[in-house]
Structure 1
Amino acid sequence: MIPELRTLIAVARHGTFAAAGEHIGLTQSAVSSQIKRLEESLGFELFDRTGRSATLNAAGGMTLARAEEIVALFSKLGELPSDENANGLLRIGAIASVQSTLLARALVRFRQKFPQLRLRIVPGVSMHLMDQLDAGEIDTSIMIRPPFGMLPELSWQSLVHEPFMLVVPARIKGNGWRKLIQTHPFLRYERTSFGGRMVERFLRSMHLAVQESIELDELQGMVQMVANGLGVALMPMGEAQLPLPRSVRAMSLGEHTFYREIGILQRSPKGSQPAVHQLAQCLRDAAEAGFKPADSPQG
């Protein structure tokens, strides 16, 4: 029943079934089905339906308030005690590119402070991680900064800025990135992701027509596809992508360079756990120290 209650809250927050579905990763029909299932379970309707619109009725308003209380209480089941040495579970959302780099380094110091805590790394794209944090399914998130405003109960701390570059097979000659991006198959950073939206805005602002080829969200996979001569790609150059294979080279966009900002999204200080604040500090320290070759395993 918790998923249905969260869907009810999302509909009330975003105004329509379609908008709610977009934010929580469900189709409009799936949202409608969940609301219908909830109404059948409760025994009364929550919305006044007119055509395609649905307005929360009086019973729906009362149910919404109770749903928010229930979901808030449910989200606290996994909260940690204030004692630093207590057992507990900390759920950390993280995009793929930080898990083996920034987060891995930060957890070395964090483990020294909280040796008995259990950690669960929850993978996902930034949009879904933000929704999971809002729903109380995770305790903090390391992700790309949203390209839109954030809810007031959430706070953002910036960690690193990664420049986007054009990645091309090394055998391709020439340094004119405008020509190369338009004359070779284009490997697109998945357009519904925050990073992919940045690429799309850049292409439109520069009036660049690309030869759509493959679309994916995995940056390492994108590098390997370029290495195998499948096309060129606009992608952020962070430590997770470096060093590049010898068969690949990255070209600067010069004055047109744009950046992917990676940071920590968490609840406001009053609503966060002590361990979350400590993790944020460890992440800031790891970001400031930067990546050093000595940090890599020697083989």
Structure 2
Amino acid sequence: MLRELKTFLAVVHHGTFARAGAHTGLTQSAVSAQIHRLEDELGFALFDRTGRSATLNAAGKRTVEIAQEMLAVYARLATQDATNESAGLLRIGAIGSVQSALLVGAIQAFRTTSPGWRIRVTPGVSLNLLAQVDSGELDLAVIIKPPFALPPELKWHLLVSEPFVLLVPRKLAKEPWRELLTREPLIRYDRNSFGGRLVDRFLKRKRISADDVVESDELQGIVALVAAGVGVAIVPQAATLHIPASVKTLNLGDDTFYREVGIVERTTPPRQSAAEQFVACLRAAPASLPGL
């Protein structure tokens, strides 16, 4: 029921099933199915439905506060010693491309200053991790900056800006990037990810009609596909990305755009001092990365 309660609160917060789905990584039909399951378990309707619209009814309004209390209690179960500022569990979310660089340095520094704290790292894509911070499942997360305004309950800290580049097989390195994008097969950065949406907007803005052959959210896997001669790709130049000799990086010049990677956290985290300390370690981490 906890998952359904989180979805219910997302609908209340964002106003519609569609918007709740967009912010939690669920389809509108999945949101609707979860709400129906919750109503079946509770034994009463939470929304008054007219056509395609759904309005929170009196029972739904009473349920909001109880649902918030239940999720808050659940979030405290893993950190029952949270009153002890020198020990506890810090729940961190992180996209894959930062786990072997930014996160390693931050954890190392945090462990030096706060040895009593345990850290649980949850991997995921930016959209899902953002929803988990919003719901209180995570204390903070390192993600790509969302292409929409954050709710007032969340705050953002920029860590690094990574320029997007065109990856091509070495034999194509001397050709113009625009011509290559128009002619060669494209290994597309997944459009369901925040970074992939930036690439999609870039292509549309430049009116480039690309021939998509593969779509993936795994950046190192995309590099390997370019090395294998499958196609070309636009990816962020992340510090952890290994580019083999068979692949060349083409700068986009004046058309360069950027992926912003940073921290999202709640404005009132339950473990304020520990979360702030870890954020400080994360903000210091980029200085130790090669090339930054």
Normalised by the length of structure 2, the TM-score is 0.94
Residue correspondences, number:
290
| Cα shift at 1:270 | 6.1
Contact conserved, 1:166 with 1:250, CA < 8 A, in 2? Answer: yes
Structure 2 segments unaligned to the other structure (5+ residues): none
- Whole-Å Cα distance in 1 between the matches of residues 180 and 147 of structure 2? 27
CA displacement 1:182-227 (0-9 Å, x = unmatched):
1100010000110001001100111111111100000000001000
CA displacement 1:131-154 (0-9 Å, x = unmatched):
011111111101111111001111
Match of 1:194 in 2: 194
- Whole-Å Cα distance in 2 between the matches of residues 284 and 34 of structure 1? 38
Match of 1:248 in 2: 247
| Cα shift at 1:29 | 3.0
| Cα shift at 1:118 | 1.9
| Cα shift at 1:172 | 1.8
- What SS does the corresponding residue of 1:261 show, helix, strand or coil? strand
Normalised by the length of structure 1, the TM-score is 0.92
Q: Which moved more, 1:204-213 or 1:59-68?
A: 59-68
Q: Which moved more, 1:114-123 or 1:132-141?
A: 114-123
| Cα shift at 1:43 | 2.2
CA displacement 1:87-138 (0-9 Å, x = unmatched):
x221110000100011111211111112232211100111110001111111
The answer to whether residue 203 in structure 2 is matched with residue 168 in structure 1 is no
| Cα shift at 1:173 | 4.4
The answer to whether residue 97 in structure 2 is matched with residue 85 in structure 1 is no
The ranges of structure 1 where at least 4 consecutive aligned residues each deviate by more than 4 angstroms after the TM superposition are 269-272
CA displacement 1:1-36 (0-9 Å, x = unmatched):
211211111111222223322322233333223222
- Whole-Å Cα distance in 1 between the matches of residues 68 and 155 of structure 2? 20
Match of 2:225 in 1: 225
CA displacement 1:261-285 (0-9 Å, x = unmatched):
1111111156553211111111111
Q: Which moved more, 1:189-198 or 1:13-22?
A: 13-22
Match of 1:265 in 2: 264
Contact conserved, 2:173 with 2:250, CA < 8 A, in 1? Answer: no
The answer to whether residue 2 in structure 2 is matched with residue 2 in structure 1 is yes
| Cα shift at 1:165 | 0.4
| Cα shift at 1:46 | 1.2
- Whole-Å Cα distance in 1 between the matches of residues 30 and 199 of structure 2? 30
Q: Which moved more, 1:88-97 or 1:17-26?
A: 17-26
- Whole-Å Cα distance in 2 between the matches of residues 257 and 187 of structure 1? 18
- Whole-Å Cα distance in 2 between the matches of residues 216 and 146 of structure 1? 19
Q: Which moved more, 1:99-108 or 1:33-42?
A: 33-42
| Cα shift at 1:45 | 1.3
Match of 2:105 in 1: 105
| Cα shift at 1:233 | 0.4
- Whole-Å Cα distance in 2 between the matches of residues 276 and 67 of structure 1? 25
Structure 1's 58 and 186: CA in aligned 2 closer, same or farther, altered over 3 A? same
- Aligned-residue RMSD, C-alpha: 1.7
1:36 aligned partner, one-letter code: H
Q: What percent identity do the matched residue pairs reach?
A: 51
Q: Which moved more, 1:27-36 or 1:116-125?
A: 27-36
2:106 aligned partner, one-letter code: A
- Whole-Å Cα distance in 2 between the matches of residues 209 and 232 of structure 1? 14
Contact conserved, 2:239 with 2:289, CA < 8 A, in 1? Answer: no
1:185 aligned partner, one-letter code: P
- Whole-Å Cα distance in 1 between the matches of residues 186 and 170 of structure 2? 16
- Counterparts of 1:1-299 in structure 2, within 5 Å, are 1-79=1-79, 81=82, 83-86=84-87, 88-242=88-242, 244-268=243-267, 271-291=270-290
- What SS does the corresponding residue of 2:171 show, helix, strand or coil? coil
1:252 aligned partner, one-letter code: N
| Cα shift at 1:82 | 5.0
- What SS does the corresponding residue of 1:239 show, helix, strand or coil? coil
